[in-house]
Amino acid sequence: MADTTRYDALLRRLRWPLFLTRTGMLAERMARAFWPLWTLCIAVLALLMLGVQDSTSIELVWALAAAAGLGIIFCLVFGALRFRFPRREEAIRRLDGSLKGNPIQSLADDQAIGAQDAGSSALWAAHQARMADRAGAARPVQPDLKLSARDPFGLRYVALLGLMVALLFGSFWRVGSVGGMAPGGAANAAAGPSWEGWVSPPPHTGLPTLYLPDIGAGALSAPEGAEVTLRLYGPEGRLNVAESVSGRVGELPAATDPAQEFSIRRDGEISIDGPGGRVWQVAMVPDLAPTATIDGPGEASVDGDISIPFSVTDDYGVERGIARISLDLEAVDRRYGLTLEPEAREAIEVPLPMPISGSREAFSEVMIENFSQHPWANMPVTVSLTVTDSIGQEGHSDPYKMLLDARRFFDPVATALIEMRRDLLWNRDNAPRVAQVMRAITWQGQGLFDTETTYLRARVLMRRIGAISEFTRMTDDQVAEITQALWDLAIEIEDGDLDDAKARMDRAQERLSEAMRNGASDQEIARLMQELRDATEDYMRQLSQQAARDSEANPDQPNMSMDNAMQMNQGDLQRMMDRIQELMEQGRMAEAQQALEELQRLMENMQVTQGQGGEGQQSPGQQAMEGLAETLRDQQGLSDEAFRELQEQFNGQQGQGQQPQGQGQQQGQQQPGQGQQPGQQGQGNQPGQGQPGSGDQTGPDAGSLAQRQQELRRELERQRGNLPGAGSAEGRAARESLEDADRAMGGAEEALRDGDLAEAIDRQSQAMEALREGMRQMGDAMAQQENQMAGQQGQSEGENPGQQNDPLGRSTGTNGDLGNSRDMLQGDDVYRRAQNLLDEIRRRSGENRRSEAERDYLKRLLDRF
C-alpha cells in the first residue's frame, strides 16, 4: 500500500498551485469553446455604439438583429457542447507533468518487489523523499490561451478593433436608440423628447467627430469651419435650438426644426432648450494662414543648378507653394548693353517641392532649379514664396534680395558670347551693338577660337544679326533662335573637348621645339612661349572642370592614391616654362629642349583628382588665394603709380613741370612697359594730357590708369566666380568682402577717368583693405574645408618618385614638392625698404609747402599703415 499520509500532505502543500492550474485550465477551455460567442457579441456592441442602426432602415436592423440572435444561440450551444469542466485529477496530472520525473505520481506508487528487504526498503524511502522534495517545488502551470489555430482569419481581433473605434468615436447612448425600433418604441420615443448632435471638424484638420450627448454643458473648442448637426426627437416645439456661432443672416430655419445644420465661424453659444437640453460656450480655434521663409541665399553648382533653402509652417499643413522671382532693376549695373530699358518680362514662377510623406505642418526643403539660360541669370533678383493651405489661405515670405546664381563661363570668347546673348534678351534693340561686338571678336580671331568650326559659326551669327538689325526689328522667334544658337556656341567653346585642349597644348610644344631647332628669333620664341602658356592653362582648366563634374556626379568615388607621386601646382608649371624661356633667351637650346621634353612627359601623366590636399598639392582654394594675392599686388602697384602721378601734379604746379633729380630717379625705377626708361626725367603733365608718341613721357596718364583699373576689376570678377567654400559662412563673408573690393575698384576707375587722383587713391586703398579681409576670410573657409577633402589638385606621377632633383636641376624638397625650402626673399632689404618708405611719408607730411590735399592723404596713409 502506498504511503497515503505523505501523498495527502503533499497535496495539501500544493493546494494553491493546483487551484491556479485548474483555474487556468478553466479559462483555456472556455476560451476555446466560447471564443465565437464573445467575438460575435463584441462585434454587435461595436456596431450599436457606432450608431449603425440609426443610419439604416428598420427592416434591415431587424434582419441583422435576428441574424445576430441566431448566431449567438448557435455559438452558445456549440460552446456548451464542447466545454468540459476541468476535474481535480486533470489539474494534478498537468501539474505533475510540468515536473521532472512526475514526482506527484511517484508518491502515489507502491514498492512492487523487495518490500521485505531492508536495503530495498531504504532505497525506496530515499526515492520517495527525493520525489517529495521535488514535488514541493511545483509552480502553477500557465494556460495555453492561443487561438490562432482555431481562428486563422483573426476574427476576434477584428471585433476588438471595432470596439476600440466605437469607444473612441461612438457612444453607449446610441445603444439605447434600438429601443425606439421595438414594437411600441416609436410611441414611447414620441412621448418623451430627446435629441442628438455631432460636431464634425473639416476633413483637412484630421480631427475626430464629437458626439454632443457625451459632452457636458460648458466650454467647447472646435476648429473653424466645423459642421454642427442636430436632430430633435419628440413632439414638435418641446425642444428648440439657439446658436450664435454661425453668423447666419437672412431667412433662417425655425428653431424647432427636427433637423438643423450650421457651421462654426466665430466664438459664440449653442443651446438646446427643453427637457434634457444643454448649453455650450463655443471657442472657435481659427485656421491660421501658413508662413514661409527663405533660409539663405542660393548657391549654384558647377553646371548652374541653384539651390534655395526654405522653411514652411502651418497649423494643419500646406497643400502647395510657389516661388516668384522678379528682377531687382535698381540693383542692376546699368552699363553697356543694359543701358536700355528692359523688355517687359513676367516674373519667374517655380513650384515649391513638397514632402512626399510625413507631416506638412512644419518642414524645410531646398528648391533646385537651373536658370542659366534665363535672361536674368547672374543678375540681382528678388525672391518671394507663396504657400497655400487646404482652405485656400495664402502665406507670403518677405522679399529676399539675392543674386540669381547660374552657370559661370571662364573662356573669354564664351563669356563675351553669353554677354551678347544677355544683351539681346534684355532688349532686342541691342542687336546692332551685339553685331558690332561680335564683329570685333571675330576680326582676325584665329587665336581666340579653338576650331575653325566655332569661328565660322560665330561669323555666321554675326552676319545674320547685323543683316536683321539693319532692315527690321527682330521678332520673338528670331530672338529665341539666335539666343539659343549663341548659347550652344558658348557651351561648345567653354566646355570644348579635353582631347582638343590636349591637342592644342601638344601642337604648341611641337611648334616651340621646332623653333628652337631652327634658331628662331627672340620675338618668335616669346610668342610661341606665350602660346604654350595659354594652351597649358586651358588644358589645366579643362582637367579641373572635368574633375569637378566627376566629383559632383560620383561623390562616393574613392580618392586615388597619392603615394610615390610628385605633386605639382600651377605655379610650378609656370616656373618650369619661365625656366625654359630663360634658357632659350640665353642661347642654351640643348638644355631648353631637354626641359621641354620633360615638361611634355609630365603633362602626359598629369591627372587632376579629388585628393586630401597633402603638402605640395594645390587645391582650388589655394589657387584662388594665389590669384587674389596677385590681384592685391597689382592693385598696390596701380595705387603707387596713381600716387606718383598725383605727386607729379603738385611738383609740376610748383616747379613749372620740371621734376627734381630725385624724382627723376624714382621714375626710372618703374617697370618697363609703362612708357619710362631707367634714369629718364619727364615733365609733369596733367591727367589726360599725355603726349602720344613721345618717348619722354614720365608716367601713365589718368586714362591709361583707368583702363588698367578696369582690367583689374574684370580679373577680380573672374576670380569671384570661381571661389570655393560657397556653403560656409566664411565663404559667404569672403564673397561679400570681394564685392566691396569690386565696388571700390569701380569708384577708383570713375575717379581716374574724371582726373580726381586723390579720390582714386582713397578708393584703391579701400579696395586693398577689402581684398585683404576677403583673403583672410577665404583662409578661414579653406581651413574648415581641409578635413572634408574638397579641392581639385593636379597630380603628376613621376617615373622615378625617389629622385631628389627635377628635370631642371632643382631640389624637389620634401614630399615631392617642386622647389626647395630656401628663403628666396631678401628679408632684411624688404623691411629696410618698408621703413624707408614710412620715413619718407612722415617727412613729406610735415612739409608745409605741400598742398592741404596731399598732406591729408599722407596723414591717412600713416594712420592706415
CA atoms within 13 A on the CB side of 30: 8
| Confidence (pLDDT) at 400 | 93
| Cβ neighbours of residue 278 closer than 8 Å, sequence gap 6 or more | 212, 216, 217, 271, 272
Q: Letter for the amino acid at 55?
A: S
| Cβ neighbours of residue 1 closer than 8 Å, sequence gap 6 or more | 110
Grid cell digits, residue 434? 551685339
Burial class (CB in 10 A: 0-12, 13-18, 19+), 418: buried
| Confidence (pLDDT) at 560 | 47
| CATH pick for 605-617+631-650+700-801 out of 2.60.40, 3.30.70, 3.30.230, 1.20.120 | 1.20.120
Grid cell digits, residue 659? 621734376
Which alpha helices (H) appear in 554-687, and where do they start and end? 570-585, 589-604, 620-655, 661-667
DSSP string, 775-807: HHHHHHHHHHHGGGT--EEEEE--S-TT-SB-T
Cα 312 to Cα 322, 398, 414: the distances in Å are 12, 13, 40
382: β partners: 326, 401
CB 484, CB 448: distance < 8 Å: no
Cα 273 to Cα 104, 232, 239: the distances in Å are 73, 11, 6
Q: Which is it for the CA torsion 539, 544, 547, 548, positive or negative?
A: negative
Mean pLDDT by 10 residues, the chain (865 residues): 66 84 89 90 87 75 87 90 88 83 78 78 83 82 86 89 86 63 49 81 88 88 91 84 86 84 91 88 92 89 85 92 93 90 92 88 92 92 94 92 85 88 93 91 77 86 90 91 92 69 73 72 73 78 69 55 53 78 78 80 62 47 78 84 78 48 37 35 36 38 79 83 67 82 89 86 86 80 59 40 43 42 45 72 79 79 70
Element (H, E) at 280: strand 279-285
| Confidence (pLDDT) at 418 | 92
Coil, helix or strand at residue 362: strand
Closest alpha carbon to 460 in 432, 489, 433: 489
Global pTM reads 0.45
The two counts, helices (H) then strands (E), for the chain are: 23, 20
Give the separation between CA 404 and CA 10, rounded to whole angstroms. Answer: 92
Element (H, E) at 545: helix 522-553
Q: What distance separates the 2 farthest-apart alpha carbons in the chain?
A: 155
| Confidence (pLDDT) at 629 | 82
Give the separation between CA 107 and CA 127, rounded to whole angstroms. Answer: 9
Give the separation between CA 820 and CA 805, rounded to whole angstroms. Answer: 10
| Cβ neighbours of residue 437 closer than 8 Å, sequence gap 6 or more | 416, 420
| Confidence (pLDDT) at 52 | 78
- Report CA 128 to chain centroid distance, whole Å: 80
Grid cell digits, residue 151? 481562428
Q: How many CB atoms lie within 10 A of CB 179?
A: 12
DSSP conformational letter for 501? H
- Report CA 559 to chain centroid distance, whole Å: 24
CA angle 767/771/773 to nearest 5° reads 120
Q: Which CATH number is associated with domain 305-403?
A: 2.60.40
CB 213, CB 255: distance < 8 Å: no
Closest alpha carbon to 643 in 700, 708, 716: 700
Grid cell digits, residue 302? 558647377
Give the separation between CA 836 and CA 830, rounded to whole angstroms. Answer: 10
DSSP string, 299-316: EE-TT-EEEEEEEEE-SS
DSSP string, 383-442: EEEEEEETTS-EEEPPPEEEE-------SHHHHHHHHHHHHHHH-GGGHHHHHHHHHHHH
Grid cell digits, residue 665? 630717379
387: β partners: 321, 395
